[in-house]
Chain A
Amino acid sequence: MELTNENVLGKIISEFGEENIQEPYNPDGIMTITTNRETIHDLIKYLRDDQELQISFLTTMCGIHYPGKGDKELCTMYQLHSLRHNYRIRIKVYMPISDPVMPTMTDLYATANWMEREAFDFYGIKFTGHPNLIRILNIEEMEYHPMLKQYPLEDQTREDKINTYFGR
C-alpha cells in the first residue's frame, strides 16, 4: 500500500476515533496530528506494529513551549518515519504547564530514553515510567528548566555587561 497523508489519517482515525485525533494539517509535506496523553502511547505502538504502516523509526522528539496558551502551553512533538515506505508523520501532544506529565515511550523505542531526558531537562516534562529520568545536558543542581520561554538567554544577575552599551 502506498502511504499517503489521506489514507494514513483515515486508518488512524478509524482506529482511535475522531475525538482523539485532532487538527490534522500539513505544514511541510509531513502530516502533523494532535492527540492526547491517553492515546499517544497506543498510537505510537499501533503505528509501529501495524503491518501496513510500519512507521517504526522514531526520528526525533522534542518539547515546545507556548507561554500563555493555557491548556496548550507545553507541547511534545514526536516525529516518526517509515523506512519501508519512506513516509514521515509528526504527532503533537499539548498539556498545561501545571501538569507536565507524559507517558514514556522507552518501552517502544530504546532511543526515546535520552530524548525524553532531554525534554525533561529543557522543559520539565515528566515522563511516567521512564527508567532514569534525570537531567542529561545540564547540571543536576540546576533549579529550573532553561528552554522555557520565561528564561532570558543571559544570566540577568551579571553586572559586567552594561545594557546601554550592549543593548540587550
Chain B
Amino acid sequence: MATENKTAELTEIEQFRKDHGLAIKEERQLTTLNLGPTHPATHGIFQNILQMDGEIIVDAVPTIGYIHRAFEKIAERRPFYQITPLTDRMNYCSSPINNMGYHMTVEKLLGITVPKRAQYIRVIMMELARISDHLICNSILGVDSGAFTGFLYVMQEREHIYDIYEEVCGARLTTNMGRIGGMERDLSPKALHLIDEFLKRFPKVWAEFEKMMTRNRIFMDRTTDVGAISAERALSYGFTGPNLRATGVDYDVRVMNPYSSYEDFEFDIPVGSKGDTYDRFLVRNAEVWESLKIIEQAYKNLPEGSYHADAPHYYLPPKQKVYTSMEALIYHFKIVMGEADIPVGEVYHSVEGGNGELGFYLISDGGRTPYRLHFRRPCFIYYQAYTEMIKGGQLADAILTLSSLNVIAGELDA
C-alpha cells in the first residue's frame, strides 16, 4: 500500500500543503470520542461518535433509535381512540400539543367542527405546553453553560403548569388530554383559578430569568456564533419552529395555516438573524412572551358554549347517560370497541409543536384502525443537521448546540 501512495495524485489539500512548504501528509492524530448514548449532558438517549483533533470536532456520526417504539406500526393496529396516548410519548415536554394535533387530524378526517369554547381551551393548553417546552429548553441551556440556578427557579413554574394539566385531564407528563371532538371535560373553576394565578405569577419569574441570562456576558460569550446555520441550509434540512425562525425565516404554522382559532389572537412571530445558539435562545424567550399573550387573550375571551362537538358517533357520551339511555349505551360500546364508522380518506394536518411543524399524515381505508399513520416529527428531521452544525467547533459548544436545538429523544425516535 505504501508504494502505491507515492505515485498517487495529490489531493487538493495535499497540493496546497506542498505549495506552502508544509508536510504533505497531516501529522495530527485524531481521537475517537463516544458522546452518549447515556450522558447527562445529552439530555436524552442519542449517541454521537466524534472524531476529535484535540478539542476540535472533525467529524461526527450520529446514531439514533435507542428508544424507537414503532409507534407508526402500533398505530396501524389500534382503534383511533387508543392512538392518543402514543402521541404524547413523542415530545413529552409538550404532550398536549401532540394530543391535540392528533385529535384535530382525526376531526379533519371525520369532518367534525369543534365549538369555539373547546378550541379556546385547546389553545390555552397548547400554549401552556409551549411555555413548558421552551422553559425547559432555555433553562437547560443555562445548566449546560454553567448557570444552574435559573433552571431550578423556572422548573417550579413548570410544576405549576403541570398542576393545571392535572386539574384539566388528571395526568401530568403523558397527558392524553382531550378527545376526538373536543375536551373530555370543561375547565373546572379550580383550573381557571390556577390559570389565572399562573398568568399573574409567571411574567415576573420569566422576566427575572431573562434578566439573568439575556445580557449575561458569560452566557453570551458561550453561545454567540456557536452552532450557527444559514437560513438556506436550514430550509434544505427541513427546519421548522424556533430553530428555523432563529435563522430569520418567519414560518409559523399557527399563522400560515391557522387551526383551532389561532386567527382570533394577536401575537407576533419572533425571528432571529444568525441562526446561532444565542438566537435560538432569544427566539424561544420571546415566544414564551407571545404564548403568554395568547393565553391571556384566550382566557379573557373564553366563549360560552359546549366543550365538545355534537358528534355522538365519535365522542363518548357521559357515563350517567350510558347507564340510563339505550342510544348512549350503543354509542359508548361502539366507540370503546373501536367500531365507530370511520370514513375512507387521506388527510394531512400540522400544528406548531414545541420544536416545529408537527404533522400527521393519516390514510384511512374505513377500517377500525388507520391504514397508515405517519408522524412528521420535527426533531427527527432537523437533528440530521447536527453533524454539520458542530463540525469545526469545540466539544463544549457541541453540547450547547444540542441543548439549544431542543432534541427530544421520544420525538426523534418515535
Contacts and interface: CB of A to CB of B under 8 A. Distances in A.
Interface stretch (A9-17, A34-42, A55-63, A156-164): A55-63
A137 B64 contact: yes
Contact of B384 (A27, A83, A114): A114
B225 to A, nearest CB: 22
Contacts of B383: 114
A22 interface: no
B347 A28 contact: yes
22 contacts: A30-B348, A59-B238, A59-B350, A59-B357, A62-B372, A79-B359, A83-B235, A86-B257, A110-B233, A110-B237, A110-B385, A111-B236, A111-B237, A111-B238, A111-B382, A113-B384, A114-B384, A136-B64, A137-B64, A137-B65, A146-B73, A147-B73
- B interface, how many residues as a size bin? 35 or more
B67 to A, nearest CB: 10
A15 to B, nearest CB: 23
Interface in A97-140: 109-111, 113-115, 118, 122, 135-139
B319 to A, nearest CB: 25
Interface of B: 64-65, 68, 70, 72-74, 76-77, 108-109, 233, 235-238, 249, 251, 256-257, 345-348, 350, 357, 359, 361, 363, 372, 374, 376, 380-385, 413-414
For B76, B381, B413, which residue has the most chain A Cβ atoms within 10 angstroms?
A: B381
A83 B249 contact: yes
B235 A57 contact: yes
Given A27-B346, A28-B348, A110-B384, A59 B372 contact: no
A64 interface: yes
3 smallest beta-carbon distances between A and B, as pairs = A111-B238, A27-B346, A137-B65
A77 interface: yes
A83 B247 CA distance: 15
A32 B347 CA distance: 11
A122 B72 contact: yes
B73 A60 contact: no
Nearest to B347: A28
A110 B385 CA distance: 8
B384 A57 contact: no
B384 A111 contact: yes
